[in-house]
Amino acid sequence: MKLLFRILSVLLIASPAVAFAKEPVKPATISVMSYNVRYGEAKDGTNEWLYRMPANIMMFEDQKPDIVGMQEALEYQMAFFKEYLDGYKGVGVGRDNGKKEGEHMGIFYNTKTLKLLKWGTFWLSETPDKPSRGWDAACYRTATWALLKDKASGNKFFFVDTHLDHKGVTAQEEGLKLIVSRIDSINPENLPMVLVGDLNVRPDNPILNPLNEVMKSAREVAMKTDTGVTYNAWGKTEHAQTIDYIYFKGFTSCPVFEVVRKPYDDRKFISDHYPVKATLIF
């Protein structure tokens, strides 16, 4: 009887640990995208914005990124996405006057998975807090940033979207340095950070060296990656190149990076850039 009592006591003590053992926690993930939508006023014939609009929505409905940084979107393109991207909200200002004029560095996020906490825009110039053109740039250039919270895990992270100048080498170099320094200043808690954009330089360009020292390129470190070009030049292969990026820091890993080449609405190209997409794990 004493032996039976001892066995039952052991089982009663052990059973709560078994009964209430927690299931393994799945790692928190976010899906991020960078996408140059192509300037809406460009004279591209059958590739003009009017004809590509439905395909763009179809891409987002299929890919379902948690957050995307857009480049080259004009005010009416931003308005189009705000109206037809179901479940998404967007922020950004026109680079020419800080309101509606000019191209936007737009950030769109899935409201089901992410909560926007705050956001802002700065100019890539010697006077970053007001609309201005920097150094030898051909155009005004900006970066839009946002602080967000992942609703599933409660984790916070920063997201930055930019588009470096296409001509000014000094503007490219100094603009990227400014972004790197601003990343530190807006993130005193050293939260995870994502930087996406059309950087207008190839991966081997030394202009990227300062960025490579503080962040990781998803293309380079993803467990499953994609080495395809990102600027498709509407199929003119002699002009195609890789200039679109997703960088990150503070995340534990990047399982997948891909160039989204899938056609939508029977259109081989939904823009002159392919979207690039990565999965990041907190």
Query: What predicted TM-score, i.e. pTM, was given to this entire model?
Result: 0.91
% of the chain with per-residue pLDDT over 70: 91
Distance CA 183, CA 162 (A): 12
Q: Say if 185 falls within a structural domain.
A: yes
pLDDT for res 99: 97
Answer whether residue 19 is part of any domain. no
18 inside domain: no
Please report which confidence band the pLDDT of residue 166 belongs to, taking 50, 70 and 90 as the band edges. Answer: very high
Residue 3 per-residue DSSP state: H
Residue (of 106, 67, 91, 93) closest to 192 by Cα position: 67
Q: Distance between CA 27 and CA 280 in Å, rounded?
A: 10
Indicate the SS3 state at residue 10: helix
The CATH number assigned to the domain holding 267 equals: 3.60.10.10
The pairing of beta strand 193-198 with beta strand 253-259: unpaired
- Give the number of domains in the chain: 1
**121 in any annotated domain:** yes
Tell me which DSSP letter residue 117 carries.
Answer: E
- Reading the block at residue 119, the tokens are 């956001």
Write down the pLDDT at residue 59. Answer: 98
- 85-127 pLDDT per residue, tens: 999 999 999 999 999 999 999 999 999 999 999 999 999 999 9
In a domain, 1, yes or no: no
pLDDT at 46: 97
255 inside domain: yes
pLDDT, tens digit (0-9, with 9 covering 90-100), for 216-267: 999 999 999 999 999 999 999 999 999 999 999 999 999 999 999 999 999 9
Using the predicted structure, report yes or no on whether residue 20 has a pLDDT greater than 60: no
